[in-house]
Structure 1
């Protein structure tokens, strides 16, 4: 698979998953390896009781983003952090960066020195995925701006579900929502390798329609940071935020930063990185970027460093690949419960245990 073009860009910068799901799935794990992505998932996992969280990514820019966030969290008070990231307004981000810069490793300094325009605008909404969702939200608002405002202000689930059925389900707006799963968007707009593995448009449309209809009956969209990106195109300080960025968790987050370690590499590289064993694996939706061969190689890497009875949490968007090894079990009821409650809406959660090493 040729992924290197994708892994040289800032692809993800904010949050498009529900960290509370991973915290529940991996509760009790002592050492957790976590794909870096935007950095949100590793930072969310610091709110667990794990002694160490290792953030792993083949993309040096995604790792540099996490390092920048760590330095900012360590140095800034809560309101100042939200302003620096771009969640709240600021005119002084470059001066703040100048103060934070000496604490960055030289490789990250080089990256961010070349991307000061991103720092100035705020890194939180700078990823290619975030830009796609901003574009899509503007299109949605052109179609149903007033209805979206009502949906995001719904006082209870009954009202929200009724609004969804009346205004959104099987409408032009529903068709617009389906754009986030269309292969040509992923291939030509996002330049995402995941576009190769998307199912036909009719299946994408049905799954997303089912996902949003279920979510409308399950939790309030205004309490979902993912829904904020979908419908508003951004996060703001007064709205829903990922679990690590909630004010009530900020002191704990800062106290746990020393438990987070950043490593460059992929899941298939785990046996050669000499990191020891892990009893928790936060895998995001790596299968979205995998054919069967690559998916199996990644799981071989996981199995090689898995402690006995380690737990894993995997997200599935559209490329629902079967687990390649019988030593990895699925907790069906728990997976279903997490899928139902997950506020990131578009994923199915697969969680369970790893009972032994792989055969390769």
Structure 2
């Protein structure tokens, strides 16, 4: 790599442009069910995953796979560590109470039991955040606070509690479409959705402004289109992401890693999870001695330029085993397998479209699934 190109990539590095010293995401906002279908993880498979809060890495772990979870943000890794400690030492109902799904009055005392499992860095992080632990750690992210503002200050201006409850009830697709057309999609909904989910407010209240450097077009229009899909085409009573946004918790629509059927699988598999603090391409190089069979890449490519996407993508493919799959989302910036790798990487366009039609995390604009035919 030339010094000029190396300098350009350094200037584009998201870790140099955005802040990574607090919990941005207290939950993973990508659909774990879709991810597991896409990557086909299982015993004897190695998966490299964006850590975020750990939800989807743990969901992948539950399949029997070995998982390396990487993140630029040490605060996010502290979230993963505390989740792992909770899975290791608590019973299922205690886990849900500690994390914040169920009510609890003793989260701090529970934390005292769990902190022995934490690294010094994570222990120092949580020791300064007793109020956050008391609230339940699934509620403490900047993104969750953004949704809380929507739920408490914006949504009541559009619909009352009874209408919101009706929206979350089990209905046929035909009934959901009628409800959308006749009740939910009113003028106030369309106006306030565009305002609240505008680039201006989202970049300040929900995400970092630098995450929008390469965004073009209207964010609000896309959110409106995808919300219609979520409320009409998909069941609303079992969607954990919709449930959290509308009610402030998951209630009975638990994300995959918190479902009872996965509790023991995750607990028994914690020794197969490795955490890495740094860029995911570095994690691939450090832990890629046996190659990887799948990559959960969240939406990392839309934060960076085309040239940086090409470089990072290539470094990941270099550590891929034959048949490895790369799964990633685009929220507002179109990114796909760079042309220079398409002689050895196949875009699974039909399968990605089928999976995206089922995507319960409805604010993304596209889902990409690629398969490595011949490693670099």
Deviation at 1:298, TM superposition (A): 1.8
Q: Distance in 1 between matches of 2:41 and 2:25?
A: 28
The answer as to 2:269 corresponding to 1:251 is no
Q: Distance in 2 between matches of 1:271 and 1:174?
A: 43
> What SS is found at the alignment partner of 2:62?
coil
The answer as to 2:248 corresponding to 1:226 is no
Q: Which moved more, 1:223-232 or 1:124-133?
A: 223-232
Cα gap change, 1:108 to 1:253, in 2 (>3 Å) = same
Gaps of 5+ in 2: 1-11
Deviation at 1:180, TM superposition (A): 6.0
The answer as to 2:82 corresponding to 1:79 is no
> What SS is found at the alignment partner of 2:315?
helix
Q: Which moved more, 1:133-142 or 1:170-179?
A: 170-179
Q: Distance in 2 between matches of 1:280 and 1:181?
A: 32
User: Of the candidates 328, 350, 365, which is equivalent to residue 333 of structure 1?
Assistant: 350
Deviation at 1:186, TM superposition (A): 3.1
Deviation at 1:356, TM superposition (A): 3.6
The answer as to 2:199 corresponding to 1:189 is no
> What SS is found at the alignment partner of 1:6?
coil
2:31–2:361 Cα contact (<8 Å) kept? yes
Q: Partner of 2:63 in structure 1?
A: 48
Q: Which moved more, 1:184-193 or 1:129-138?
A: 184-193
Q: Partner of 2:215 in structure 1?
A: 198
Q: Which moved more, 1:207-216 or 1:74-83?
A: 207-216
The answer as to 2:182 corresponding to 1:158 is no
Q: Distance in 2 between matches of 1:289 and 1:222?
A: 32
Deviation at 1:181, TM superposition (A): 4.1
Q: Distance in 1 between matches of 2:194 and 2:329?
A: 19
TM-score by length of 2: 0.88
Deviation at 1:42, TM superposition (A): 0.2
Cα gap change, 1:105 to 1:270, in 2 (>3 Å) = closer
2:240–2:254 Cα contact (<8 Å) kept? yes
Cα gap change, 1:285 to 1:316, in 2 (>3 Å) = same
User: Of the candidates 19, 22, 33, which is equivalent to residue 20 of structure 1?
Assistant: 33
Q: Distance in 2 between matches of 1:156 and 1:278?
A: 41
Deviation at 1:312, TM superposition (A): 1.4
Aligned length: 353
Gaps of 5+ in 1: none
1:270–1:304 Cα contact (<8 Å) kept? no
Q: Partner of 1:111 in structure 2?
A: 125
Deviation at 1:351, TM superposition (A): 0.8
Q: Distance in 2 between matches of 1:218 and 1:69?
A: 33
Cα gap change, 1:271 to 1:31, in 2 (>3 Å) = closer
Q: Distance in 2 between matches of 1:184 and 1:332?
A: 32
Deviation at 1:153, TM superposition (A): 1.5
Q: Deviations over 1:88-133 (max 9, x none)?
A: 1111111111111111111111111112221111111100000001
The answer as to 2:345 corresponding to 1:345 is no
Q: Partner of 2:224 in structure 1?
A: 209
> What SS is found at the alignment partner of 1:222?
coil
Cα gap change, 1:234 to 1:176, in 2 (>3 Å) = farther
Q: Which moved more, 1:335-344 or 1:185-194?
A: 185-194
